[in-house]
Every structure is written in C-alpha cells, then in structure tokens.
C-alpha cells in the first residue's frame, strides 16, 4: 500500500480523497493549517496515519510542512490539493509580501516539491479555469495591476499545470500530472456547483494510488480519469522555466535537478 500526503485535507476534495484512499487501505497523511483544523481532519478521516500542521500561505509554514514530511520519510505520492478560491474580493497580502492566491496556489506546491524528498508520484489540482489563465509572467504578485480575483485564481491554476509539466520533464523518475476535479459543491466551489462531488476526488486518488491501468503516466492532464484539453501554453518550456525561475526567486529555493 502507498504512503500518500494530501495538502489541504481538512475538508472539501482533499478530505474526500483522503477518505477514499484510507478506505482502499493506503497510508494517508493529512495536512491542515492549524491545530483546530488538524483535529477536524483526523476526526473526519478515521484511519489516517497522522496530520501535518502548517500555514501554506507563508514560506515558513510551507517549509515546516516539508520538514515534517522529510522527517517521516519518502512518500509514494503527494497530492497538492490546498488552494484559495476565486472569490477573493481584494488582494490579501501575506507576511512574505505575496498575494495569498499566488502564495497558496502557486508558490506552496512549488516549494513543497522543491524541498521534499521526491516521491514516486506528484499530483497537482488545477481547474478548468486554467484555460482562461494568462501565461504572462509579468507582475504575478498583482502588485501594480488592479486586483481581479477570478483572473488571479485562473492564472494560479495554470501555474499548477506548468509546474506539473515542468517536473515531468525535469524529473524522469517521477510521475507528475495535473487534473481538474470539475466545478463541485465544496466550500470553494459554492453550493450551486453543477458537477458530481464524489467524482471530484476520484482522479487524484487514482493517480496517487498508482494501482490501476493508465496511472503510470507523466506530463498528463486529466478530468475524470481521462486526458483533457490544456491551455495552449501549458507545454511551453520557456514559460515553464520562467515560472520556475520566479518561484525560485520568491522562495530562495531552486527546484533540484536529478
């Protein structure tokens, strides 16, 4: 059975994926941003091995989660699920000077990937909205642009695909993929979301477990376990490398090369 870390698994799709994987007999480590949510996560997912605590909106919190993970040993898979939604009415700046959407949705999965011992499988949750994201790497922090929460979210979900594809290219021994779960009725998606909530956790669990046909793939983008269309620049290696360079500058940590 696989040992799997799921970020942002105190509720929503992360919690559903954790429950699905625990029921299948896998060793699942949860993650929450504080102790209260960590307690809620463990209560909601009986059978989970443990829970890491760290606020992924801060570089310190990201680094602490990576340290906890490395102290436990190498994971078979990591699901980068934690995210901030598109309904942020204003630009929220973290103590590191980053806007919160960029910090949680882009920088956190990058830094955790860079700091953790590479697992066999990496899964990055994106969104169908990534196809509306901008591949421009100018002012990712929205420091000078008028704030647009939906655009910032869409851009960040494109970043997740770019990171997944870059890692697939640079780390040939790791299966690195991205997916969209659909617009589902989580706290982030809202009560009116039309897609199937249960199906929203299937693909990431399937890829993380790696015990089914079609899971030994890298550089893929999926929706409900099937390949899906990506942004035209998702496979643009110059854009991928440019994003990695910006993330390295923001975090002071370069993505290791094999």
Active site residue 221: no
Active-site annotation holder among 124, 157, 187, 229: 157
Place of tokens 């480590």: 29
- Of 80, 75, 79, 161, whose CA–CA distance to 120 is shortest? 75
Active-site annotation holder among 95, 153, 221, 229: 153
Active site residue 153: yes
Catalytic residue set: 153, 157
């Amino acid at each position: 059975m696989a040992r799997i870390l799921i970020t942002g698994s105190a509720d929503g799709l992360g919690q559903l994926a954790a429950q699905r994987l625990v029921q299948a007999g896998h060793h699942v480590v949860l993650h929450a941003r504080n102790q209260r949510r960590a307690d809620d996560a463990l209560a909601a997912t009986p059978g989970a091995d443990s829970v890491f605590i760290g606020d992924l909106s801060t570089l310190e919190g990201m680094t602490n989660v990576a340290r906890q993970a490395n102290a436990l040993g190498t994971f078979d898979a990591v699901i980068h699920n934690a995210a901030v939604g598109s309904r942020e009415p204003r630009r929220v700046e973290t103590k590191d000077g980053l806007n919160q959407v960029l910090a949680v949705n882009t920088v956190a999965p990058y830094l955790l990937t860079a700091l953790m011992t590479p697992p066999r499988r990496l899964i990055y949750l994106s969104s169908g909205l990534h196809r509306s994201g901008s591949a421009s790497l100018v002012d990712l922090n929205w420091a000078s642009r008028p704030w647009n929460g939906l655009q910032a979210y869409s851009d960040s979900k494109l970043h997740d695909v770019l990171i997944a594809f870059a890692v697939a290219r640079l780390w040939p021994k790791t299966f690195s993929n991205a997916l969209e779960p659909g617009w589902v009725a989580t706290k982030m998606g809202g009560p009116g979301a039309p897609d199937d909530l249960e199906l929203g956790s299937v693909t990431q669990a399937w890829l993380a477990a790696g015990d089914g046909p079609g899971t030994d793939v890298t550089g893929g983008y999926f929706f409900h376990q099937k390949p899906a269309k990506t942004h035209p620049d998702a496979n643009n290696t110059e854009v991928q490398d440019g994003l990695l360079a910006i993330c390295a500058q923001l975090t002071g940590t370069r993505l290791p090369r094999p």
